[in-house]
Amino acid sequence: MKLFSFVIIGIILIHFSAYGHTLEQTTDSLIKVLDQTIRDKQKYIDKKVASIAELKDSLQNTPSSRKKCDILGDLFDAYKSYQLDSAYAVALRRAELARNINNDSLVVKAKMNMVEVLAMTGMYSTSLEMLNHNRQKIKKYGFQAYYYHLYHSIYTQLTENTLSEQHQKYYKELTYRYKDSILSVHSPDDIGYHLVNGPKMVMDGNYNAALKYMLDMYNNREMNTHQRAITAYIISDIYHHLGEEQLEKKYLIISAIDDTRGAVKEYISLRKLATLIYKDGEIERSYKYMMCAMEDAIFCNARLRTLEISQMLLIINGSYDQEAKAAHDRLVFLVILISIFLLVLIVSIIYIYKQLKALAIARRTLKTVNENLKQVNEDLNKLNRQLFEASHVKEEYIGYLFNMCSAYIDKLEEFRKTANRKLKVGQVNELYKLTLSTSLINDELKEFYRNFDTVFLNLYPNFVSEFNSLLNPDEHIIPKEGELLTPELRIFALVRLGINDSVKIAGFLHYSAQTVYNYRLKVRNKALIAKESFPDAVRQIGQFKIK
């Protein structure tokens, strides 16, 4: 029973881990879309400007004053979330035109348009006064839904911006009442009904029910871009109340994307998203989003949004400046560090040059010493065969070592000259590319292997055939055409020379220790004799060739 419980818990944990990982990936993908949308912002603005221009052309070409009032209404809707000054000017023009044609209903509608703009700019007293003054006419002409919407909007903003808890509670109650009023005059088939009913459920504390309600609306109803942005914002607010920060962020991003694509300049989503990711430590992106929100608020002349953004922008800007200063300090440190390394490099080159001169003197001295040793070597030829073999092996490889040293010294001298020439003429990039290439090392390794194989087979010409005699007939190791020894044969050649440590063999042949171990194990598995006896048998291979 306990085992079953642990299994169930494990499955649940894996599920939530995978879910969290998927949500994080989705959010990251949406962030990339938002970044690209902001970069393409001008494209959406141009589209908005083109639609406004079409309305203005229609207005210009329409002879009917009544029709012009309707077009001015459409123009007001286009401007009210884009540029408040222009929206107010359109409302004034609409009111004047309505007076000229003696249409009191349209005059009242235009005044309500003015109230909407004034409320969005924070002129609450003036807005309420105008609404109260026109209350009877509003009822007379059946503008109750718009009337309730304006009161709801004013009291919502007063709730958000008042400092007094008492007043905040009072305005919140009024906001709640006007939600009921709006719902009473709206049909459940209207999008506006749901955009009010969802937040009302939030105010009632029914967060889970509100979430299900708004997600169902978001996924199953046809909406325009602005309505989708508002719906996504409401969903993000519900997730905020539920403490689901990652999901809150996701829907804020979606809302911000739709706001940008709709060329909406008066919004909340991007500002709240900037604040949220600032808390996550993404200062640079937060600063970029907040600056974008500030530019849009200033363009729209949304003074309240500008004030809200500026308060947070000061905090983010301070952190951004600190981060920039830290980056500058790191850069200075790296420049100093690189300068030190460059100085060390110059000193090293000078030291190597002096060592090369000393080595040249040593070579001349060594040449004289070698001439003197020839006579001594003639006397040593009388030693027994075993000592002669050991001596000859050493002599062969010492000669090979000296030749390699001499060749490497020449190549190092040539490389020094090349580096010196390039440094003199300022070809630092070419020198960097030269030192970056690994072809020189690869060529030297091939030459090293070839020389080693040649020397070894000079000493033990029958090594390959005798080594294969220790293996199964169908497992013989035959060098390819153009090769003297394979890597496996080369490793066991060192074993024949008395080097049995895999680490030393790896260092000598420039293989990894694991590679050497794998080769040795693979070959021992092919042996005719016991694996434990195989290294000893290899050391017995070969009759020494006396020249």
pLDDT tens digits, one per residue of 349-383: 888 888 888 888 878 877 877 776 676 566 565 45
Contact 107, 95 (CB under 8 A): yes
* Per-residue confidence (pLDDT) for residue 470, from 0 to 100: 84
Measured CA angle at 94 (ends 131, 225), to 5 deg: 80
Higher local confidence (pLDDT), 419 or 108: 108
- pLDDT higher than threshold 50 for residue 115: yes
Quick one: what percent of the chain has pLDDT higher than 70? Answer: 80
**Of 237-246, 399-408, 422-431, which has the strongest mean pLDDT?**
237-246
Distance of CA 336 to the CA centre of its chain: 29
Positive or negative, the CA dihedral 212, 218, 222, 228 is positive
CB atoms within 10 A of CB 180: 13
Domain ranges of the chain: 43-265, 266-362, 444-539
Q: Please tell me the least confidently modeled range out of 253-262, 276-285, 383-392, 424-433.
A: 383-392
Q: Where are the alpha helices (DSSP H) in 243-302?
A: 245-261, 269-279, 283-300
pLDDT tens digits, one per residue of 140-185: 888 999 999 999 988 988 887 777 888 889 988 998 898 889 898 8
* Per-residue confidence (pLDDT) for residue 232, from 0 to 100: 92
* Per-residue confidence (pLDDT) for residue 307, from 0 to 100: 57
Mean pLDDT computed over 84-101: 92
* Per-residue confidence (pLDDT) for residue 112, from 0 to 100: 93
Structure tokens at 37: 């949308």
- pLDDT higher than threshold 90 for residue 113: yes
Mean pLDDT computed over 313-335: 62
- pLDDT higher than threshold 70 for residue 539: yes
Mean pLDDT computed over 7-31: 60
Residue 3's alpha-carbon distances to 6, 11, 15, 16, in angstroms, are 5, 12, 18, 20
Among 183, 205, 185, 208, smallest CA distance to 195 is for: 183
Task: Return all residues near 198 (Cβ < 8 A) that are at least 6 apart.
Answer: 210, 213, 214, 217, 234, 238
* Per-residue confidence (pLDDT) for residue 285, from 0 to 100: 85
Higher local confidence (pLDDT), 179 or 390: 179
- pLDDT higher than threshold 80 for residue 259: yes
Higher local confidence (pLDDT), 114 or 304: 114
Q: How confident is the model at residue 187 (pLDDT cuts 50, 70, 90)?
A: confident
Higher local confidence (pLDDT), 435 or 326: 435
Residue 489's alpha-carbon distances to 30, 67, 514, in angstroms, are 58, 97, 16
- pLDDT higher than threshold 70 for residue 247: yes
What is the CATH class of 43-265? Answer: mainly alpha
Average pLDDT along the chain: 80
Mean pLDDT computed over 268-292: 84
- pLDDT higher than threshold 60 for residue 17: no
Q: Please tell me the least confidently modeled range out of 6-10, 38-42, 304-308.
A: 6-10
pLDDT tens digits, one per residue of 449-475: 888 888 888 888 888 888 888 889 888
Place of tokens 């033990």: 460
Q: How confident is the model at residue 44 (pLDDT cuts 50, 70, 90)?
A: very high
pLDDT tens digits, one per residue of 492-536: 888 888 888 888 888 888 888 898 888 888 888 888 888 888 888
Higher local confidence (pLDDT), 329 or 458: 458
- pLDDT higher than threshold 60 for residue 395: no
